[in-house]
Amino acid sequence: MKLVEIATIYQEKLVELYDSEEAHSLFLLVLEELLGYKRTDYILNKQTNVNEVDLLKLNTTLLDLSCGKPIQYIFGYTEFYGLKFKVNPSVLIPRPETEELVAWILSIYNSPIAANSNTSNAETTILDLGTGSGCIAIALKKHLPNAQVSAIDISSEALTTAKENAVLNKVTIAFVEDDMLQLSSSKYPKFDVIVSNPPYIKENEKPEMHTNVLHNEPHTALFVSNEQPLVFHEAIADFALKTLKPHGHLFFEINEFLSNEMVDMLKLKSFNNIELKKDINGKYRMLLASRY
């Protein structure tokens, strides 16, 4: 069977789950991963016959994709902030919006101004709550090598993956198994930065989500009740009140539809210098708060 014929089969099978352009992009990603063919290689070799071994690999991957399995779980890895991360169904697949959150933190703590102020990364202590794959903590440590970075998750399976990713990316992170909703401030030191991408998608927002997310990624890391959509953010804010250093920063990834509620909640808890930030799509997906 020729490559162009396989491309057609991929298109026919995947358009049930993805639009035409995304289906073709998935085919090209699979082609590069399994056969080492980049986009230009495919264009130049469309009429090439595929051997039986490679055809079996391509068909097996197509079966997984057509069942809605995310391509990152099929490959077993993804990229985040220029780094490679192992991923599996015990952890969320890192999103571009979370990369923007990391970039925001680094813009404050890895800048020329920071090098001559109390935000110098030489003494910065960072805590990532709900670390999952470890992507936030590891990316920050990679770019702030002198910082002391800790990461917490309630899932032992997620922490196993996060530890593997720390080794993969050659960084040292202090990983702790704990519950974000029941953190005891007496167990932890003071931090310059507390960052979290906690569950924040309301149950009634599920119908708007892609089926490959709903059927494959861990729901405990995604969803909150309609009645208490800020339950994790509130618990983390209470913890931060006791564990943030003076002039420390609390960073959140947030639900775009709850940005006003987030600001009101943090104001009631005496946070100030609250700043909402839009992502590349113009949605309020990040928030920074301090207590001066």
Looking at the domain assignment, is residue 63 inside a domain? yes
Looking at the domain assignment, is residue 73 inside a domain? no
Residues 243 and 267 in one domain: yes
Residues 181 and 265 in one domain: yes
Looking at the domain assignment, is residue 72 inside a domain? no
pLDDT confidence of residue 36: 95
Residues 11 and 123 in one domain: no
Q: How far apart are CA 97 and CA 130, in angstroms?
A: 16
> From the centroid of its chain, how far is CA 263?
23
Residues 115 and 260 in one domain: yes
Residues 37 and 168 in one domain: no
Please give the torsion angle defined by the CA atoms of residues 113, 114, 116 and 117, in that order, rounded to the nearest 10 degrees.
Answer: 120
For residue range 180-212, list pLDDT tens digits in order.
999 999 999 999 999 999 988 777 877 777 777
pTM: 0.91
CATH code for the domain of 181: 3.40.50.150
What sign has the CA pseudo-torsion 103, 107, 112, 118? Answer: negative
With H, G, I as helix, E, B as strand and everything else as coil, classify residue 277.
strand
With H, G, I as helix, E, B as strand and everything else as coil, classify residue 14.
helix
Q: How far is CA 214 from CA 89, 199, 203, 242, in A?
A: 11, 14, 11, 35
Give the chain's largest Cα–Cα span: 66
Could you report how far apart the first and last alpha carbons of the chain are, in Å?
66
Looking at the domain assignment, is residue 20 inside a domain? yes
Residue 205 structure tokens: 């927002």
Domain assignment of residue 39, given as a range? 3-67
Give every CB contact of residue 133 below 8 A, 6+ residues apart in sequence.
Answer: 80, 85, 86, 87, 91, 92, 94, 158, 161, 162, 165
Residues 137 and 211 in one domain: yes
Residues 101 and 57 in one domain: no
pLDDT confidence of residue 276: 97
Looking at the domain assignment, is residue 265 inside a domain? yes
Residues 26 and 92 in one domain: no
Looking at the domain assignment, is residue 157 inside a domain? yes
pLDDT confidence of residue 41: 93
Low-confidence ranges of the chain (pLDDT < 70): 111-122, 214, 217
pLDDT confidence of residue 113: 44
- The structural domain count of the chain equals 2
Residues 137 and 262 in one domain: yes
Residues 43 and 141 in one domain: no
Q: Name residue, tokens 């923007």.
A: 100
Instruction: State which of 41, 67, 93 marks the end of a domain.
Output: 67
> From the centroid of its chain, how far is CA 151?
14
Residues 161 and 50 in one domain: no
Judge contact between 237 and 255, C-beta under 8 A.
Answer: no
Q: Which one-letter amino acid corresponds to residue 168?
A: L
Residues 54 and 170 in one domain: no
| Nearest CA among 47, 81, 60, 94 for reference residue 217 | 94
Strand (E) positions, 167-238? Answer: 174-177, 191-196, 201-202, 223-224
Burial 104-140 (b: 16+ CB within 10 A, else e): bbbebbbeeebeeeebbbeebbbbbbbbbbbbbbbbb
Instruction: State which of 38, 67, 96 marks the end of a domain.
Output: 67
Q: How far is CA 49 from CA 40, 168, 181, 199, 200, in A?
A: 17, 36, 56, 46, 47
Tell me which DSSP letter residue 227 carries. Answer: S
Q: How far apart are CA 260 and CA 256, in angstroms?
A: 9
> From the centroid of its chain, how far is CA 141?
15
